Amino acid sequence: MKYLATTLLLAVLLLTGCNQPETERTEWALALHGGAGTISKDIPDTLKQQYYDGLRQALRTGEIILREGGSALDAVEYVVRNLEDNPLFNAGKGAVFTAEGKHELDAAIMDGSTLGAGALTGLTTVKNPISLARIVMEESPHIFFSGVGAEEFANQTDVERVENDHFFTETRYQQWQRAQTGEANNYPKAAWTEGDYFGTVGAVALDINGNLAAATSTGGMTNKQFGRVGDVPIIGSGTYANHVAAISATGWGEQIMRNVSATTIANYMEFNGASLDEAIDFVLTQRLNPGDAGFIAVDAYGNISMKMNTAGMYRGSIDSNGNRVVMIWEDE
Ligand code: ASP
Protein backbone atom coordinates (compact mmCIF):
# COMPACT_ATOMS: atom_id res chain seq x y z
CA MET A 1 0.00 0.00 0.00
CA LYS A 2 2.77 2.38 1.07
CA TYR A 3 4.72 1.39 -2.08
CA LEU A 4 1.68 2.09 -4.27
CA ALA A 5 1.17 5.55 -2.71
CA THR A 6 4.81 6.51 -3.28
CA THR A 7 4.68 5.30 -6.90
CA LEU A 8 1.49 7.26 -7.52
CA LEU A 9 2.99 10.41 -6.00
CA LEU A 10 6.10 10.07 -8.16
CA ALA A 11 4.00 9.54 -11.28
CA VAL A 12 1.94 12.65 -10.52
CA LEU A 13 5.07 14.71 -9.91
CA LEU A 14 6.63 13.52 -13.15
CA LEU A 15 3.50 14.18 -15.17
CA THR A 16 2.98 17.68 -13.78
CA GLY A 17 6.66 18.49 -13.87
CA CYS A 18 6.43 19.69 -10.27
CA ASN A 19 9.70 18.01 -9.32
CA GLN A 20 11.60 20.16 -11.80
CA PRO A 21 10.75 23.82 -11.19
CA GLU A 22 11.59 25.64 -14.42
CA THR A 23 13.24 29.05 -14.50
CA GLU A 24 10.44 31.25 -15.72
CA ARG A 25 10.87 32.59 -19.24
CA THR A 26 10.18 36.21 -20.06
CA GLU A 27 7.72 36.19 -23.00
CA TRP A 28 9.89 38.37 -25.22
CA ALA A 29 12.98 40.52 -24.82
CA LEU A 30 15.06 42.86 -26.96
CA ALA A 31 18.38 44.67 -26.58
CA LEU A 32 20.24 46.95 -28.98
CA HIS A 33 23.49 48.84 -29.21
CA GLY A 34 24.78 51.79 -31.18
CA GLY A 35 28.49 51.19 -30.61
CA ALA A 36 31.00 51.13 -27.75
CA GLY A 37 34.11 53.21 -27.18
CA THR A 38 35.50 56.31 -25.59
CA ILE A 39 32.32 58.35 -25.48
CA SER A 40 33.02 61.76 -23.93
CA LYS A 41 30.61 62.96 -21.25
CA ASP A 42 31.16 66.46 -22.59
CA ILE A 43 29.03 65.97 -25.68
CA PRO A 44 26.44 68.77 -25.98
CA ASP A 45 23.06 68.11 -24.35
CA THR A 46 21.23 68.40 -27.67
CA LEU A 47 23.43 65.69 -29.21
CA LYS A 48 23.01 63.51 -26.11
CA GLN A 49 19.26 63.89 -26.51
CA GLN A 50 19.48 62.93 -30.19
CA TYR A 51 21.28 59.73 -29.25
CA TYR A 52 18.74 58.83 -26.56
CA ASP A 53 15.89 59.60 -28.98
CA GLY A 54 17.49 57.46 -31.70
CA LEU A 55 17.92 54.52 -29.33
CA ARG A 56 14.33 54.87 -28.05
CA GLN A 57 12.92 55.02 -31.54
CA ALA A 58 14.80 51.87 -32.56
CA LEU A 59 13.63 50.08 -29.40
CA ARG A 60 10.05 51.03 -30.20
CA THR A 61 10.40 49.49 -33.68
CA GLY A 62 11.36 46.15 -32.14
CA GLU A 63 8.84 46.42 -29.31
CA ILE A 64 5.91 46.73 -31.74
CA ILE A 65 7.03 43.63 -33.64
CA LEU A 66 7.64 41.45 -30.57
CA ARG A 67 4.57 42.61 -28.62
CA GLU A 68 2.38 41.63 -31.56
CA GLY A 69 3.87 38.16 -31.71
CA GLY A 70 6.38 38.88 -34.49
CA SER A 71 9.59 36.92 -34.84
CA ALA A 72 12.93 37.69 -33.21
CA LEU A 73 14.38 37.76 -36.73
CA ASP A 74 11.98 40.48 -37.89
CA ALA A 75 12.66 42.44 -34.71
CA VAL A 76 16.45 42.45 -35.07
CA GLU A 77 16.31 43.19 -38.81
CA TYR A 78 13.97 46.18 -38.42
CA VAL A 79 15.73 47.58 -35.35
CA VAL A 80 19.05 47.48 -37.20
CA ARG A 81 17.48 49.00 -40.35
CA ASN A 82 16.22 51.85 -38.22
CA LEU A 83 19.70 52.46 -36.80
CA GLU A 84 21.30 52.13 -40.27
CA ASP A 85 19.08 55.00 -41.43
CA ASN A 86 20.09 57.17 -38.47
CA PRO A 87 23.17 59.25 -39.45
CA LEU A 88 24.42 59.34 -35.85
CA PHE A 89 25.50 55.71 -36.05
CA ASN A 90 28.32 54.03 -37.94
CA ALA A 91 26.15 51.81 -40.13
CA GLY A 92 24.32 52.63 -43.34
CA LYS A 93 24.06 56.44 -43.51
CA GLY A 94 26.75 57.78 -41.17
CA ALA A 95 29.22 54.98 -41.86
CA VAL A 96 32.91 55.78 -41.29
CA PHE A 97 35.42 56.44 -44.10
CA THR A 98 37.96 53.90 -45.33
CA ALA A 99 41.60 54.94 -45.88
CA GLU A 100 40.67 55.49 -49.54
CA GLY A 101 37.87 57.89 -48.58
CA LYS A 102 34.95 55.55 -49.33
CA HIS A 103 32.37 53.67 -47.30
CA GLU A 104 32.50 49.86 -47.16
CA LEU A 105 29.78 48.22 -45.14
CA ASP A 106 29.62 44.92 -43.24
CA ALA A 107 26.54 43.18 -41.81
CA ALA A 108 25.38 39.83 -40.46
CA ILE A 109 22.18 38.25 -39.18
CA MET A 110 21.66 34.89 -37.47
CA ASP A 111 18.62 32.80 -36.56
CA GLY A 112 19.26 30.92 -33.31
CA SER A 113 16.50 28.39 -33.94
CA THR A 114 17.97 27.07 -37.21
CA LEU A 115 21.59 28.30 -37.09
CA GLY A 116 20.76 29.97 -40.41
CA ALA A 117 23.04 32.94 -41.07
CA GLY A 118 23.69 35.58 -43.72
CA ALA A 119 26.67 37.93 -43.90
CA LEU A 120 28.22 40.52 -46.22
CA THR A 121 31.42 42.51 -46.28
CA GLY A 122 32.62 45.40 -48.42
CA LEU A 123 29.20 46.57 -49.64
CA THR A 124 29.29 49.98 -51.30
CA THR A 125 25.81 50.66 -52.72
CA VAL A 126 23.27 48.82 -50.55
CA LYS A 127 21.26 51.24 -48.41
CA ASN A 128 20.35 48.69 -45.72
CA PRO A 129 22.97 45.93 -45.57
CA ILE A 130 21.12 44.03 -42.82
CA SER A 131 18.16 43.32 -45.09
CA LEU A 132 20.47 41.96 -47.78
CA ALA A 133 22.10 39.76 -45.11
CA ARG A 134 18.67 38.34 -44.34
CA ILE A 135 18.12 37.58 -48.04
CA VAL A 136 21.51 35.82 -48.14
CA MET A 137 20.36 33.72 -45.18
CA GLU A 138 16.95 32.87 -46.61
CA GLU A 139 17.50 32.66 -50.35
CA SER A 140 21.09 31.65 -50.97
CA PRO A 141 22.82 28.31 -50.40
CA HIS A 142 25.76 30.31 -49.01
CA ILE A 143 26.32 32.31 -45.83
CA PHE A 144 28.89 34.99 -46.64
CA PHE A 145 29.49 37.19 -49.72
CA SER A 146 32.26 39.76 -50.12
CA GLY A 147 33.02 42.86 -52.21
CA VAL A 148 32.26 42.53 -55.92
CA GLY A 149 30.38 39.28 -55.34
CA ALA A 150 28.29 40.85 -52.59
CA GLU A 151 27.28 43.68 -54.96
CA GLU A 152 26.54 41.10 -57.66
CA PHE A 153 24.32 39.20 -55.23
CA ALA A 154 22.53 42.48 -54.42
CA ASN A 155 21.89 42.97 -58.19
CA GLN A 156 19.79 39.81 -58.15
CA THR A 157 17.50 41.18 -55.42
CA ASP A 158 15.29 44.24 -55.14
CA VAL A 159 17.08 45.83 -52.16
CA GLU A 160 17.34 49.63 -52.35
CA ARG A 161 20.60 50.88 -53.93
CA VAL A 162 22.31 54.25 -53.44
CA GLU A 163 25.45 56.06 -54.57
CA ASN A 164 28.37 55.53 -52.17
CA ASP A 165 28.22 59.19 -51.07
CA HIS A 166 24.72 58.59 -49.67
CA PHE A 167 26.57 57.32 -46.58
CA PHE A 168 28.55 60.59 -46.17
CA THR A 169 28.27 62.71 -43.03
CA GLU A 170 30.43 65.69 -42.11
CA THR A 171 31.25 64.26 -38.65
CA ARG A 172 32.65 61.04 -40.10
CA TYR A 173 34.55 63.03 -42.72
CA GLN A 174 36.23 65.08 -39.97
CA GLN A 175 37.08 61.92 -38.05
CA TRP A 176 38.68 60.48 -41.18
CA GLN A 177 40.70 63.68 -41.65
CA ARG A 178 41.96 63.42 -38.06
CA ALA A 179 42.77 59.72 -38.52
CA GLN A 180 44.96 60.56 -41.49
CA THR A 181 47.16 62.97 -39.61
CA GLY A 182 49.51 62.97 -36.64
CA GLU A 183 49.05 60.60 -33.74
CA ALA A 184 45.93 58.98 -35.08
CA ASN A 185 48.04 57.40 -37.80
CA ASN A 186 48.91 54.85 -35.17
CA TYR A 187 46.06 52.71 -36.49
CA PRO A 188 43.80 51.89 -34.84
CA LYS A 189 44.69 52.50 -31.21
CA ALA A 190 45.16 56.28 -31.31
CA ALA A 191 41.93 57.14 -33.06
CA TRP A 192 40.18 54.50 -30.97
CA THR A 193 41.14 56.28 -27.76
CA GLU A 194 40.21 59.61 -29.37
CA GLY A 195 36.71 58.17 -29.62
CA ASP A 196 36.53 58.34 -33.40
CA TYR A 197 35.26 54.85 -34.10
CA PHE A 198 32.13 54.08 -32.18
CA GLY A 199 28.74 53.71 -33.74
CA THR A 200 28.36 50.13 -35.00
CA VAL A 201 24.79 48.97 -34.45
CA GLY A 202 23.30 45.66 -33.34
CA ALA A 203 20.19 44.00 -31.95
CA VAL A 204 19.36 40.73 -30.21
CA ALA A 205 15.90 39.35 -29.44
CA LEU A 206 13.87 36.51 -27.96
CA ASP A 207 10.33 36.13 -29.34
CA ILE A 208 7.18 34.65 -27.82
CA ASN A 209 7.89 31.34 -29.54
CA GLY A 210 11.22 31.09 -27.75
CA ASN A 211 13.38 31.82 -30.82
CA LEU A 212 16.56 33.87 -30.52
CA ALA A 213 18.15 36.07 -33.23
CA ALA A 214 21.05 38.49 -33.57
CA ALA A 215 21.95 41.17 -36.14
CA THR A 216 24.88 43.59 -36.46
CA SER A 217 25.76 46.25 -39.06
CA THR A 218 28.73 48.60 -39.41
CA GLY A 219 30.92 50.78 -41.57
CA GLY A 220 33.87 49.20 -39.73
CA MET A 221 36.72 51.29 -38.36
CA THR A 222 37.72 54.76 -39.55
CA ASN A 223 40.63 54.74 -42.00
CA LYS A 224 40.52 50.93 -42.42
CA GLN A 225 42.68 49.61 -45.22
CA PHE A 226 41.52 48.18 -48.57
CA GLY A 227 39.39 45.11 -48.08
CA ARG A 228 39.67 45.07 -44.28
CA VAL A 229 37.02 42.78 -42.80
CA GLY A 230 35.99 43.32 -39.18
CA ASP A 231 34.33 41.08 -36.62
CA VAL A 232 30.75 42.04 -37.48
CA PRO A 233 30.14 39.78 -40.51
CA ILE A 234 32.27 36.92 -39.16
CA ILE A 235 29.69 34.53 -37.75
CA GLY A 236 30.71 33.70 -34.19
CA SER A 237 32.90 36.77 -33.70
CA GLY A 238 30.69 39.88 -33.78
CA THR A 239 27.35 38.18 -34.38
CA TYR A 240 26.01 34.84 -33.13
CA ALA A 241 22.75 33.16 -32.10
CA ASN A 242 21.89 29.58 -31.16
CA HIS A 243 19.47 27.86 -28.74
CA VAL A 244 21.36 29.28 -25.73
CA ALA A 245 21.83 32.98 -26.49
CA ALA A 246 21.93 35.71 -29.13
CA ILE A 247 24.91 38.08 -29.06
CA SER A 248 25.99 41.22 -30.93
CA ALA A 249 29.40 42.82 -30.34
CA THR A 250 30.91 46.23 -30.86
CA GLY A 251 34.42 47.52 -30.40
CA TRP A 252 37.88 46.88 -31.76
CA GLY A 253 37.09 44.26 -34.40
CA GLU A 254 40.52 42.63 -34.55
CA GLN A 255 40.39 41.93 -30.81
CA ILE A 256 36.81 40.63 -30.95
CA MET A 257 37.75 38.32 -33.85
CA ARG A 258 40.88 36.94 -32.20
CA ASN A 259 38.75 35.72 -29.34
CA VAL A 260 35.78 34.53 -31.42
CA SER A 261 33.95 36.50 -28.79
CA ALA A 262 30.23 36.02 -29.50
CA THR A 263 30.46 32.22 -29.79
CA THR A 264 32.74 32.05 -26.78
CA ILE A 265 29.98 33.72 -24.73
CA ALA A 266 27.33 31.19 -25.87
CA ASN A 267 29.70 28.23 -25.41
CA TYR A 268 30.87 29.39 -21.98
CA MET A 269 27.23 29.33 -20.88
CA GLU A 270 26.52 25.95 -22.44
CA PHE A 271 29.68 24.16 -21.34
CA ASN A 272 30.03 25.69 -17.85
CA GLY A 273 26.42 26.27 -16.87
CA ALA A 274 27.29 29.95 -16.49
CA SER A 275 24.76 32.78 -16.60
CA LEU A 276 24.75 35.28 -19.46
CA ASP A 277 26.33 37.96 -17.24
CA GLU A 278 29.09 35.57 -16.12
CA ALA A 279 29.87 34.53 -19.69
CA ILE A 280 30.17 38.11 -20.90
CA ASP A 281 32.29 39.04 -17.87
CA PHE A 282 34.60 36.14 -18.71
CA VAL A 283 35.21 37.40 -22.25
CA LEU A 284 35.50 41.06 -21.20
CA THR A 285 37.97 40.38 -18.39
CA GLN A 286 39.77 37.13 -19.29
CA ARG A 287 39.98 37.35 -23.06
CA LEU A 288 39.80 41.02 -24.07
CA ASN A 289 41.77 44.00 -22.83
CA PRO A 290 40.25 47.01 -21.08
CA GLY A 291 38.87 49.43 -23.65
CA ASP A 292 38.32 46.79 -26.34
CA ALA A 293 34.62 46.05 -26.62
CA GLY A 294 31.01 45.79 -25.51
CA PHE A 295 28.28 43.17 -25.97
CA ILE A 296 24.53 43.03 -25.89
CA ALA A 297 22.95 39.61 -25.45
CA VAL A 298 19.75 37.80 -24.54
CA ASP A 299 19.42 34.18 -23.42
CA ALA A 300 16.67 31.60 -23.94
CA TYR A 301 14.91 32.73 -20.73
CA GLY A 302 14.85 36.36 -21.80
CA ASN A 303 17.66 37.50 -19.49
CA ILE A 304 19.34 40.54 -21.02
CA SER A 305 22.96 41.58 -20.54
CA MET A 306 24.62 44.73 -21.88
CA LYS A 307 28.23 45.05 -20.72
CA MET A 308 31.41 46.69 -21.94
CA ASN A 309 34.98 47.36 -20.86
CA THR A 310 34.95 50.74 -22.63
CA ALA A 311 33.88 54.07 -21.12
CA GLY A 312 30.54 53.92 -22.86
CA MET A 313 28.20 52.01 -25.13
CA TYR A 314 25.03 53.38 -26.69
CA ARG A 315 22.49 50.77 -25.66
CA GLY A 316 18.93 50.02 -24.69
CA SER A 317 16.64 47.15 -23.83
CA ILE A 318 13.01 46.29 -23.29
CA ASP A 319 11.07 43.17 -22.31
CA SER A 320 7.52 41.89 -21.91
CA ASN A 321 7.65 42.57 -18.14
CA GLY A 322 7.79 46.28 -18.86
CA ASN A 323 11.51 46.80 -18.13
CA ARG A 324 12.85 49.51 -20.44
CA VAL A 325 16.24 51.26 -20.30
CA VAL A 326 18.33 53.48 -22.56
CA MET A 327 21.92 54.23 -21.51
CA ILE A 328 25.24 55.55 -22.80
CA TRP A 329 27.81 55.49 -19.97
CA GLU A 330 28.75 52.83 -17.44
CA ASP A 331 27.57 54.70 -14.36
CA GLU A 332 24.00 55.57 -15.35
N1 ASP B 1 33.57 46.16 -34.47
C2 ASP B 1 33.53 47.09 -35.55
C3 ASP B 1 34.65 46.72 -36.53
O4 ASP B 1 35.74 46.44 -36.10
C5 ASP B 1 33.69 48.50 -35.15
C6 ASP B 1 32.84 48.95 -33.98
O7 ASP B 1 32.13 48.17 -33.38
O8 ASP B 1 32.87 50.15 -33.63
O9 ASP B 1 34.43 46.75 -37.71
pLDDT tens for each residue of 184-209 = 455 555 555 555 567 899 999 999 99
Counting ligand 1 atoms within 8 A of each CB, the residue from 194, 197, 292 with the most, and so the one to mutate, is 197
Domain residues of the chain, as ranges?
33-329
CA-closest candidate to residue 161, choices 129, 138, 201: 129
Active site amino acids: 200
Q: Is the CB of 89 under 6 A from ligand 1?
A: no
Task: Tell me the whole-structure pTM to 2 decimals.
Answer: 0.91
pLDDT band at 175 (very low <50, low <70, confident <90, very high): confident
What's the rounded Cα separation, in Å, for the pair 218 and 71? 23
- Cis peptide bond prior to 44, omega within 30° of 0: no
Name the amino acid, one letter, at 75.
Answer: A
**Residue-level pLDDT at 303:** 98
Is residue 270 packed enough to be buried (19+ CB in 10 Å), middle (13-18) or exposed (0-12)? middle
Q: Given the CA of residue 228, which atom of ligand 1 is nearest to it?
A: 9
Give the rounded percent of residues in the chain with a pLDDT score beyond 90. Answer: 80
- Residue 181 pLDDT > 80, yes or no? no
Give me the phi and psi of 244, to 5 degrees please.
-95, -45
**Can you tell me the mean pLDDT for 247-255?**
96
pLDDT at 16: 43
Q: How confident is the model at residue 9 (pLDDT cuts 50, 70, 90)?
A: very low
* pLDDT tops 50 at residue 265: yes
Ligand 1 center to 27 CA (angstroms): 31
- Of the listed ranges 6-15, 17-26, 57-66, 176-185, the least confidently predicted one is 6-15
- 35 within ligand 1 shell (Cβ under 6 A): yes
The atom of ligand 1 lying closest to the CA of 253 is: 4
- For residue 46, how far is its CA from the centre of ligand 1 (angstroms)? 25
Ligand 1: centre distance to CA 96 (Å): 10
| Ligand 1 contact, 220 CB (< 6 A) | yes
In ligand 1, which atom is closest to the CA atom of 198?
8
For residue 271, report the distance from its CA to the centre of ligand 1, in Å: 28
pLDDT in tens, 275-287: 999 999 999 999 9
Ligand 1: residue whose CA is nearest its atom 9: 220
CATH number of 33-329: 3.60.20.30
* Average pLDDT taken over every residue of the chain: 90
124 lines ligand 1 (CB under 6 A): no
218 lines ligand 1 (CB under 6 A): yes
Q: Mind listing the pLDDT tens digit for each residue in 100-158?
A: 999 999 999 999 999 999 999 999 999 999 999 999 999 999 999 999 999 999 999 99
Q: How far is the CA of 154 from the centre of ligand 1 (A)?
A: 23
Q: Report how far ligand 1's centroid is from the alpha carbon of 18 (Å).
A: 46
| For residues 65-83, average pLDDT | 98
> Is the CB of residue 232 below 6 angstroms from any atom belonging to ligand 1?
yes
Query: CB burial class (10 A; 0-12, 13-18, 19+) of residue 193?
Result: middle
Q: Exposure of 24 by Cβ count < 10 A (0-12 exposed, 13-18 middle, 19+ buried)?
A: exposed
Ligand 1 proximity of 108 Cβ (cutoff 6 Å)? no
